[in-house]
Amino acid sequence: MAKTYNICLLPGDGIGPEIIAEGVKVLDAVGVKYDTAFAYTEALLGGCAIDATGTALPDETLHVAEASDAVLLAAVGGPKWDTTDPAKPRPEQGLLGIRKALGLYTNLRPVQIFAALADASTLKPEIVDGVDMMIVRELTGGLYFGRRERFYDEEGCGTHGAAGQRAYDTLEYREYEVERIARQAFEAARKRRNKVTSVDKANVLETSRMWREIVHRIGAEEYPDVELEDLLVDNTAMQLISRPVDFDVVVTENMFGDILSDEAAQITGSLGMLASASLGDGTALYEPSHGSAPDIAGKGIANPLAQILSVEMMLRYSFNLGEAADDIRRAVTAVLDEGWRTGDIKQADTPADKVVGTVQMGDLVVAHL
């Protein structure tokens, strides 16, 4: 009898419903090929949840996620819900909240170059040739989860010392939080090219000084076979552009990882190609690295490949279906090698009849499966 995996689907906002449908299509094809069944339960997260319930992360959504074998998320957010009012909900609160509630403290973002898309990068082909890195981002600590407040200060924070608004956000880490993310990075490096680059701002921040000390201790005591280097975050931002091929595993705290992973993603030519996995103590969550792209929502032109590659990561990390995951990677590679493109990854010499929409791209991947 076929094994059944229960998946919580979070389509979210913008192009989310369109691309997650293609992820499900690929999962169903995998199920047929490998005699495996996938059962889906859809729930609300982000802006759509705010509209329906008044909160970005309804209790029901969390219950569904906790009861599932994995969570597949598309994208959340959009200008409709943009606000600077701290009293109003924002879609991003749903994403941060579900990561925290599920104990997902590790975000894995593979950054690899598909040979067929090397020319799509804004960098020279000889710079990006062979790029294959894994960014390991701490996901539930740091500035995004620290104490924060905005208030009116009578003592003078406005223009020329007059009374005015004042705000603060707190960057805080605990020893165990750094230890566990460091181990994740070293373990990942052992399965790759045995090198970890730890990124911090130790010349300024006390949290970074502690981060560096702990990463070095874990490396020396538990992973002496893995090469370790330190880079300041500003220097890393430069080195990712000048020598991206030299990076193997990059580990860093939450905010730095948020920024650097998007920068690294652009090396590949499009955020529409990059997936991510959030792992930890609870049900793992898989999602594309890109946003909800509300400007193209409903037009049927969004690139579903990052969502499909998120399915690949789900099969690999949550379900131990490595052969099926490899099949998806091969199928995506074959489609690209044949010259098929969505609008965001087409090149100047891409024939018009090779530019396809969201559904057609999903169909092509399924056909190769």
What is the number of alpha carbons within 13 Å of residue 138 lying toward its C-beta? Answer: 31
Count of CB atoms situated within 10 Å of the CB of 100: 17
Confidence of residue 119 (pLDDT cuts 50, 70, 90): confident
322 is annotated as contributing to ligand binding? no
* Torsion-angle region of 346 (φ positive above 0: left; ψ -120 to 50: alpha; else: beta): beta
Residue 200 CA to residue 255 CA, distance in Å, equals 10
Confidence of residue 159 (pLDDT cuts 50, 70, 90): low
Share of the chain above pLDDT 90, in %: 79
- Which token pair is 327? 């099949």
Residue range 1-104+271-368 forms a domain whose CATH class is alpha beta
Asked whether residue 5 carries a pLDDT value surpassing 80, the answer given is yes
Beta carbons of 237 and 263 less than 8 angstroms apart: yes
Report the pLDDT value the prediction gives residue 47, as an integer from 0 to 100: 96
State the DSSP H helix or E strand holding residue 255, giving kind and residue range, or none if neither.
helix 254-267
180 is annotated as contributing to ligand binding? no
Asked whether residue 296 carries a pLDDT value surpassing 70, the answer given is yes
Question: Which residues are tagged catalytic?
Answer: 144, 201, 234, 258, 262
Residue bearing tokens 């911090």: 200
Q: Is the dihedral of CA 204, 202, 134, 264 positive or negative?
A: positive
Higher pLDDT, 168 or 262: 168
Q: Which residues pair with 36 in a beta bridge?
A: 3
Asked whether residue 269 carries a pLDDT value surpassing 80, the answer given is no
Residue bearing tokens 């070095």: 216
Confidence of residue 118 (pLDDT cuts 50, 70, 90): confident
Asked whether residue 199 carries a pLDDT value surpassing 90, the answer given is yes
Count of CB atoms situated within 10 Å of the CB of 79: 10
Beta carbons of 43 and 16 less than 8 angstroms apart: no
Count of CB atoms situated within 10 Å of the CB of 13: 27
Residue 288 CA to residue 276 CA, distance in Å, equals 6
Secondary structure (3-state) at 9: strand
- Which token pair is 358? 């969201």
367 is annotated as contributing to ligand binding? no
Map out the domains of the chain as residue ranges.
Answer: 1-104+271-368
28 is annotated as contributing to ligand binding? no
Tell me the pLDDT tens digit for each residue of 58-77. 999 999 999 999 999 999 99
